[in-house]
Each structure stands twice: as structure tokens, then as C-alpha cells.
């Protein structure tokens, strides 16, 4: 059976001076429209209790273009401007669904520089991609071929902090096929000393990408701190700092892709722990190491690849005592400090802390599949109520 999935293919490209100027203007206009629409929606609800949706903001955009002050919005393609209003609507939808925080304003220096084009605003023929308001195609480095017969539905152009230009083409990929079932199951315990410990006993080392470039990063940041704000020298050194960060992120992402692809191909069922990384990084002693390990990105890759290839990923509740539970006899230890890497149970079994945790996670995950998918026991307070924080309901502006 073939599954048709939407898949984004990302490539580097080198714009001409005219193309770079046009895209920079587009990025600025996209940011301006997004911020103005967000301010209008917020002000309408706070002052008049009035709800503003996408259609209303689209009408506002038409009115803004007719003013002398914002006439420059007519100089760029209208499609990216309309798309940013759709993205704002999606952001509010996620907020009202309690899946995200309230939308924030885009900063000129810190926000991602990007613009999205739909089929009416680009032309893709014979491997040449031409965007609206441009006469020449982009010089794309086609590092891998698109699926045969693929027709991009949207094209997203972006520039990262290191000054690199990227184009992402969203296509239907008919080549994604579920893998044959093999019946293999594996439990995975994440850590810092070893990035992953599998229930098979295999340990995958933590490459610590950030630590490898820490000296170069610190040197560039010290140099940046000495430059005058707003100067050309500061902009030049800031680019050096961004390039070090980009190199670290690229190596980390490449490694995670290789690991997750291998795990999905080899195993039918993968059991992980449902960690709240955003709370764990509040520990300032471990925040840097946890961020470098990228546990959230690892889980995200694992889940979408498992969905593509017909595999199952089970997340065991984070309060499950996987490290303190003996995988042989089921005895629960009272305490297990982090410095204890090996321990002996009363039954005589000696455990490696991480391997034992992976065994327990696998057993708990398989029990969930038997009892019913999605079963996650909640931690209870002494009064018997769930310890899950109850948030006040949000009212829609």
C-alpha cells in the first residue's frame, strides 16, 4: 500500500543581488503585515470585545495598501502577505485550542525571515523555479531529486541567521511506503552520558556537538561583545557567531536523522519516555547539555517517520519509575540518585541503570498496547486529585 504524504524538500540557493533585494523587501513587508494584523486583532478584542478573523484582516490589508504611508506593500507579491495572515489565523486557532501561547510580534532582528508562495505566485518548469516579481529563476542547488512527477503546492523562501538562503518545496511524495512488519520492539532511555540506551543493551554515544565548538563559539561571542552596537564590524562578527551555531545545528540534525531512520526501519514498536524537556531545562546546571542533546527534536523525528512507515511509537508516562524498578523481580527502590549508574537489587540481579530503565520502558509500553493505546497513568496528590496543573479557560478575542 502506498501512502501519499505531504513532504517538504529543502535546498540551498544563491540569489542574485536583485533577487536578494526583492526577497528582503518581501520579508520586511510580511513581518509588517503580520504585526499590524496582530495588533488590530488584539486591540479590537481588548477595547471593543470584537472578534477579528482572517477575512477581516484581509480586508484591512487591502485598505492599508491604498494609504500613502503603506503604499510600498504594493511593490511585493501579494501572496506572501495573504499567507502570513493565514498563519496568524492558525496561530490563534492553536492558542484557543490550548496548544500554543498567545501569538507574539515578529522582531526584525530575532524573528525568522521567510515568505511563503502558493501556486499562483511561482512557476516550476523543467527544474527551474521562478518566483513572482522576478524575471530570472533561482539558482537552486538540487542536492537531491524531487519525487518523479512531483508538483510543488507551496514554496517557502527563507534566510537563516548565518546569511544562508533556502527554498522549501512542499510536494506529494508517493514514494513513502509502509515497511513490512517485523515484530521487533525496543525501549529507549535518553540520557546525557549516552544519548540513547536501547533495551537491547546497545548504547549510542552523545557526540556533544555544542561542546566540540564551544571554544570557537566563546571566542566569536567575546569578539562580538566588544563591537559597537549598530556598527558594520558588529554585523560582520555577528555573522561569524551565527555560522558557528549553524554548524552545530546542522551536525546535530544530521545525526538525529540517521539514528531515527535506523530505529524506524529496524523496529515495529518503539517505546520512549514522555519527558517535559521545557521543565527540565529550568535546571541551569543541566540546561546546556539537555538542549545540546535535542531530546524533543529526536522524538519529533521519530514520530513522523513512524507514521510514514507504519510503525508505532508509544510514550510512557514521565512519572513511571523506570530507573528505580528492578526489571527482573519488579522491586521498587526507594531512592536512586543520578550518580548511581549501576545497582544490585535484593533478588541478586545487578543492573546498569540506563539499560534497566530501557527494559522497564519497553515492558510498560507493551503493556499499554495490550490494555489499550493511549493509557497513561497520572501522578496523584495525597488528596487523590491529579497533579496536572489546571489552567483557566481562555476567551477568544
Q: Give the separation between CA 321 and CA 386, rounded to whole angstroms.
A: 17
- Measured CA to CA in angstroms, residue 223 lies from 11, 212, 236 at distances of 31, 19, 11
Output the pLDDT for position 110: 87
Output the pLDDT for position 348: 85
Which among 22, 210, 292, 354 is annotated as catalytic?
354
At 389, the pLDDT band (50, 70, 90 cuts) reads very low
Output the pLDDT for position 60: 96
Which among 22, 189, 210, 292 is annotated as catalytic?
189
Residue 391 pLDDT greater than 60, yes or no: no
Output the pLDDT for position 369: 72
Please confirm, yes or no, whether 273 is among the known catalytic residues.
yes
Output the pLDDT for position 377: 36
Output the pLDDT for position 381: 34
Phi–psi pair at 287, nearest 5 degrees: -60, -40
Output the pLDDT for position 334: 85
Residue 378 pLDDT greater than 60, yes or no: no
Output the pLDDT for position 28: 97
Please confirm, yes or no, whether 189 is among the known catalytic residues.
yes
| Exposure letters 174-208 (e unless 16+ CB within 10 A, then b) | eebeeeeeeeebbbbbbbeebbbbbbeeebbebee
Other Cβ atoms closer than 10 A to 146: 17
Cell of 224: 562580538
Q: What percent of the chain shows pLDDT beyond 90?
A: 73
Using a 10 angstrom Cβ sphere, with 0-12 exposed, 13-18 middle and 19 or more buried, the burial of residue 126 is exposed
CB under 8 A, 24+ apart: contacts of 380-388: none
pLDDT digits (tens, 9 = 90+) for 204-252: 999 999 999 999 999 999 999 999 999 999 999 999 999 999 999 999 9
Residue 383 pLDDT greater than 50, yes or no: no
Q: Give the separation between CA 346 and CA 332, rounded to whole angstroms.
A: 10
Q: Average pLDDT for residues 368-372, to the nearest whole number?
A: 65
> Residue for cell digits 515484530?
183
Which among 116, 210, 273, 292 is annotated as catalytic?
273
At 372, the pLDDT band (50, 70, 90 cuts) reads low
pLDDT digits (tens, 9 = 90+) for 127-159: 899 999 999 999 999 999 998 888 999 999 999
Specify which residues 309 forms β-bridges with: none
Please confirm, yes or no, whether 354 is among the known catalytic residues.
yes
Q: Nearest-CA neighbor of 211 among 279, 291, 280?
A: 291
Q: Give the separation between CA 187 and CA 197, rounded to whole angstroms.
A: 8
pLDDT digits (tens, 9 = 90+) for 185-200: 999 999 999 999 999 9
pLDDT digits (tens, 9 = 90+) for 103-117: 999 998 889 999 999
Residue 393 pLDDT greater than 50, yes or no: no
Amino acid at each position: 500500500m502506498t501512502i501519499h504524504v505531504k513532504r517538504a524538500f529543502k535546498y540551498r540557493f544563491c540569489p542574485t543581488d536583485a533577487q536578494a533585494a526583492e526577497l528582503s523587501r518581501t520579508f520586511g513587508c510580511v513581518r509588517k503585515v503580520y504585526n499590524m494584523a496582530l495588533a488590530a486583532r488584539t486591540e479590537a478584542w481588548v477595547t471593543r470585545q470584537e472578534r477579528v478573523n482572517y477575512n477581516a484582516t484581509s480586508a484591512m490589508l487591502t485598505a492599508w495598501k491604498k494609504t500613502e504611508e503603506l503604499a510600498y506593500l504594493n511593490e511585493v507579491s501579494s501572496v506572501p502577505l495573504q499567507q502570513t495572515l493565514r498563519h496568524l489565523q492558525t496561530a490563534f486557532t492553536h492558542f484557543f485550542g490550548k496548544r500554543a501561547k498567545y501569538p507574539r510580534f515578529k522582531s526584525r532582528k530575532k524573528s525568522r525571515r521567510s515568505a511563503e508562495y502558493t501556486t499562483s505566485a511561482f512557476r516550476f518548469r523543467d527544474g527551474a523555479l521562478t518566483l513572482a516579481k522576478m524575471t530570472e529563476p533561482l539558482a537552486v542547488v538540487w542536492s537531491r531529486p524531487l519525487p518523479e512527477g512531483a508538483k510543488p503546492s507551496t514554496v517557502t523562501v527563507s534566510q537563516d541567521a548565518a546569511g544562508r538562503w533556502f527554498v522549501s518545496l512542499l510536494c506529494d511524495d508517493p514514494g513513502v511506503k509502509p515497511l513490512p512488519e517485523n515484530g521487533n520492539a525496543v525501549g529507549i532511555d535518553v540520557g546525557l552520558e549516552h544519548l540513547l540506551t536501547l533495551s537491547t543493551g546497545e548504547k549510542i554515544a552523545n557526540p556533544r556537538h555544542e561542546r566540540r565548538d564551544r571554544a570557537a563559539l566563546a571566542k566569536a561571542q567575546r569578539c562580538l561583545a566588544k563591537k559597537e552596537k549598530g556598527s558594520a564590524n558588529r554585523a560582520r562578527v555577528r555573522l561569524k557567531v551565527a555560522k558557528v551555531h549553524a554548524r552545530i545545528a546542522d551536525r546535530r540534525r544530521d545525526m538525529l536523522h540517521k539514528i531515527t531512520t535506523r530505529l524506524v526501519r529496524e523496529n515495529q514498536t518503539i517505546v520512549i519516555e514522555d519527558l517535559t524537556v521545557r521543565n527540565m531545562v529550568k535546571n541551569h546546571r543541566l540546561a546546556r547539555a539537555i538542549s545540546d542533546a535535542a531530546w524533543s527534536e529526536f522524538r519529533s523525528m521519530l514520530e513522523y517517520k513512524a507514521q510514514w512507515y507504519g510503525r508505532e511509537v508509544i510514550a510512557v508516562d514521565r512519572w513511571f519509575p523506570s530507573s528505580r524498578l528492578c526489571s527482573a523481580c519488579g522491586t521498587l527502590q526507594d531512592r536512586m540518585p543520578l550518580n548511581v549508574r549501576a545497582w544490585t537489587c535484593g533478588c541478586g540481579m545487578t543492573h546498569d541503570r540506563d539499560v534497566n530503565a530501557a527494559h522497564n520502558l519497553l515492558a510498560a509500553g507493551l503493556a499499554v498496547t495490550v490494555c489499550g493505546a493511549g493509557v497513561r497513568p497520572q501522578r496523584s496528590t495525597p488528596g487523590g486529585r491529579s497533579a496536572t496543573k489546571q489552567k483557566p479557560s481562555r476567551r477568544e478575542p
